[in-house]
Structure 1
């Protein structure tokens, strides 16, 4: 008889090996499943004997906590995948989440930064030290390519092609794509790798192929990237926190606002479906004003 802890471990291994899921995704799945395990303990039921009624009771509890539709949908999808895996492994015979419909998510436009705010971030970087050189290269790459923070942290030296001005990005589900880098990004990366990164490697004695390092000479983590960006926000006096994904949103929004083709942006972002990219077709008030002033005869 497989225990629920063993079942979860098998599922995690499946996500790591077969699905090639990111560390961030796996952490979220584990947290959601462990939350459901706590609910089962409270109800005194086994994970192999969960029924549709139990699932409805669990979901009711989520709504009573005033969780958003997006959060409930994510947890439901996670647990549906978990039980689908358990069925495949013949640990359970039915998927109790199979008949549950996902709640329609609230349509939320992605948060992005205006071009003026991006420029303030760049101006807040001091190039007088190793950290400044790294931070400039990091910000340039994130904004120039729109890559995910996990993809950025996994980039290695051999993935950069300075002659062509491209970076090989290892995306979700083992899907690789080449993304162009602008001249500013190429210059910042070249300077960082030849100088600041070389100094870090030499002083800390931790040679490896990852591009972005922390000040201990170890590969930079997504948490480290978030810290760096939020420190830049404080120095630039930009309002609010800056999540790395906001740079990805800004990349897509600015491209589309300046006339980029939606399909091209889809390829650059690494989206499997065009529907994931269409959320960026919103435009800023400034863009609407520019279009109006340029197009209306009485503007």
Structure 2
């Protein structure tokens, strides 16, 4: 019965358009909860059982004495909550035992963004005298110019790059959402070179492949290959901070907002459903907020003398005291 419920739960998540990774994670964590509590009948689950399981999550230590991170605990609790919400909606249970269970407040560390200089140093690392080097430089340019996710990049097809219009179409991104993002002149230049001179060489053995970024085996470039390439370029550029494909996404958002882009426009380009997610990408700009406020707010730019225009507290206080006597 439990396996049947988990199967239906996975199908329910797919119907909602959740990504394969989300479906796998939610169903996996729900199954983990059921195995940990030894429950074979979902109707017998109670709120204290769930609370006891959550306590165990906080107390957990692996072989290296390392606990679960706050983010891991959040996703485990969220998975169980969604599972029992589904059971209640489908009348498998009458009362949701996880209804009043709250997720812990998620603490998201500020992600390190690349400065324009650091990004340029990494972009300059691929060897442009080789086919692979041109492909890798094009991948880096697209990552930095669009803020695209790594799995979205690896899924791009030759038809998604509109070089004439200077935009990139991202079909069925996270949450099965489509969007269009500007490419920028540098990404367009390298894409044009790559598509004209490099990709035909990679696709010689498989002319029917429509993937944009390919390797010598005519296969779509993998996430592992891109990640290793970025790591090598980071080391060659002597950048000490950790750099991944997601770092380019964060750097993209940070640079746009810092240079005056509207946050909601950045939200659309990143493909975020919630503006709070976008704001999490740019929290590192908090140190500049006072400076931006002084520079941008009309009252801060007012030339009026602050001391002479301030309220005369003594005069007000005195008149008040006379009236009250």
Normalising by structure 2, we get a TM-score of 0.79
- Kindly indicate whether residue 42 of structure 2 is the aligned counterpart of residue 40 of structure 1: no
- The residue aligned with 1:98 is 99
* Deviation per residue, 1:171-228 (Å, 9 max, x gap): 33332211101111011111112222111110x3263212122332212333333222
- The residue aligned with 2:237 is 236
Superposed CA RMSD in Å reads: 2.9
1:50 aligned residue (45, 48, 67): 45
- The residue aligned with 1:20 is 17
Deviation at 1:61, TM superposition (A): 0.8
* Deviation per residue, 1:52-107 (Å, 9 max, x gap): 11111110011112333322221111121122223334444443322201111124
Taking structure 1 as reference, are residues 206 and 30 closer, same or farther at Cα in structure 2, changes over 3 Å only? farther
- The residue aligned with 1:10 is 8
Structure 1 unpaired stretches of 5+: none
Taking structure 1 as reference, are residues 215 and 35 closer, same or farther at Cα in structure 2, changes over 3 Å only? farther
Taking structure 1 as reference, are residues 14 and 130 closer, same or farther at Cα in structure 2, changes over 3 Å only? farther
Deviation at 1:19, TM superposition (A): 2.5
8 Å Cα contact 2:250-2:282 kept in structure 1: no
**70-79 vs 235-244, greater mean Cα deviation:** 235-244
Deviation at 1:118, TM superposition (A): 0.9
Taking structure 1 as reference, are residues 56 and 173 closer, same or farther at Cα in structure 2, changes over 3 Å only? same
Deviation at 1:291, TM superposition (A): 6.7
- The residue aligned with 2:190 is 188
Match runs of 1:115-154 below 5 Å: 115-154=116-155
8 Å Cα contact 1:20-1:172 kept in structure 2: no
8 Å Cα contact 1:167-1:181 kept in structure 2: yes
8 Å Cα contact 2:34-2:40 kept in structure 1: no
Taking structure 1 as reference, are residues 240 and 216 closer, same or farther at Cα in structure 2, changes over 3 Å only? farther
8 Å Cα contact 1:229-1:244 kept in structure 2: yes
Taking structure 1 as reference, are residues 221 and 30 closer, same or farther at Cα in structure 2, changes over 3 Å only? farther
8 Å Cα contact 2:19-2:176 kept in structure 1: no
- The residue aligned with 1:208 is 209
Alpha-carbon distance in 2 for matches of 1:187, 1:242: 24
- The residue aligned with 1:73 is 74
What SS class does the counterpart of residue 271 from structure 1 fall into?
coil
8 Å Cα contact 1:32-1:79 kept in structure 2: yes
Structure number with greater Rg is: 2
Deviation at 1:113, TM superposition (A): 1.7
Alpha-carbon distance in 1 for matches of 2:58, 2:272: 30
- The residue aligned with 1:269 is 270
Normalising by structure 1, we get a TM-score of 0.85
